[in-house]
Structure 1
């Protein structure tokens, strides 16, 4: 198996609650056009019938092999659990949006597709990296509960007069750009990307550190999201993470010791 195929095998397209058969079929066709085959549909709002197959044309095998992940109910908390479990399977989870959020919305600061690809090109073992591209449904895009779970937000520059792309068109553009990254040569990046599970350990340390400080309660969740967003956008390397974990571990221990002294003071 060549490096390009290895890379394509690591890329998964995730559609969250898609509602139009034609778009789903067109997404499958675009995936096959560019050599991608892993489609995950989270709680699709429509069954796959003849319309989807007609739009897929010669990519009906993509539809047949699609993984279906249902939501157990309509409660957002339950949906979040499903998405968190799903996203843990990937090294990089990139949500997509046509919206450019204000900087105050820290967990939704997007990067343009070109910048996202430039970041990927610096990863040493890109062909072995599991990447999820997450798309929302046709009417609403990714809802807040889903946006909060992705590692970072990617956007495709469009006209201000009509910034919203059709779902299938957005997927097609993203996959075309990704395919170019591997079409001529294997990226020779210098960053050995830190495993997702170890990044989660760093986030846990940070959460614990925040809880041990005097961070105002109304800023706790925003602070945690800001740090998670920053770590995701930085493409932290294994070496960097090793060094950071040591510092954060000591910081947590010192904070706990200080808290114990305060609590035990007469």
Structure 2
């Protein structure tokens, strides 16, 4: 199931527009709002016949609360990094095909209209998507960006209507995997900046592989044995 997270949206009208887009493109999951403004008449006016999505929206106070509601999160940004800017390595919207195959709670995350998502927020998500645009004026309105991402998911969902879907690893299963990996890194690497990079790269690789529940279980077993072996050496 696909949902949408808006982090501290500033315009009620944009919230309404995104609710309408969710209905346009069959986004079934809830609209999750992090510390939003009041949903006034402008929000409902822009939502048109999608007012139900606004009424059913989940409102939370923090980004962490929002992420706890989903299994796989895809952040969005106009800025795309190179291989040395690990946190900003991104995919294109057309690269999201594997995300459709996940049998779990997938959510697209959009940031503030004025400043987008912070690096810290992006680092907490599983994947980053960047929409290419003309460098003369690369910043898209958040509702326009949502339209592009939702349309790509709509196309892919129509293309990938398969009788059997993979059971994607849940957020909890991936969290257990990351916990063991982090512990191994903490034992083997003393330099803080290298620890951070190793942990972030591992999370990004796991995200891009769209691992299944069974794969996560198998990897967890291997990492647990490695960790146990390292603990015995200490």
Pair in the same fold by TM > 0.5 = yes
| Contact 1:108-1:152 at 8 Å conserved across structures | no
1:262 counterpart residue number: none
SS at match of 2:81: coil
Q: Choose which of 73, 76, 98 in structure 2 pairs with 1:93.
A: 73
- Report the count of equivalent residues: 233
Change beyond 3 A, Cα 1:17–1:198: same
Aligned to 1:155: 130
Pairing of 1:8-87 with structure 2 (within 5 A): 10-37=1-28, 38-44=30-36, 46-70=37-61, 82-87=62-67
Structure 2: gaps (5+ residues): none
Q: Please list the CA deviations of residues 23-67 of structure 1 after superposition, one character each: whole Å capped at 9, or x if unmatched.
A: 1111111112222352111011x3221222221222222222211
Task: Name the CA shift for 1:190/1:67 in 2 (closer, same or farther; >3 Å).
Answer: closer
Cα 1:160–1:198 change in 2 (3 A) is: same
- Give 1:205 shift: 0.6
Counterpart selection for 2:143 from 134, 156, 168: 168
2:203 pairs with 1:228: yes
Moved more, 103-112 or 238-247: 238-247
2:75 and 2:109 in contact (8 A); partners too: yes
* Offset at residue 144 of structure 1 (A): 2.1
Please tell me the root mean square deviation across aligned C-alpha atoms, in Å. Answer: 2.0
Q: 1:96 to 1:214 in 2, by over 3 A?
A: closer
Q: TM-score, normalised by structure 2?
A: 0.90
Say yes or no: does 1:105 pair with 2:96: no
Mapped contact 1:83–1:149 kept (Cα < 8 A): no
**Which residue matches 1:145?**
120
Which structure is larger by alpha-carbon Rg, 1 or 2? 1
CA distance in 1, matches of 2:55, 2:43: 11
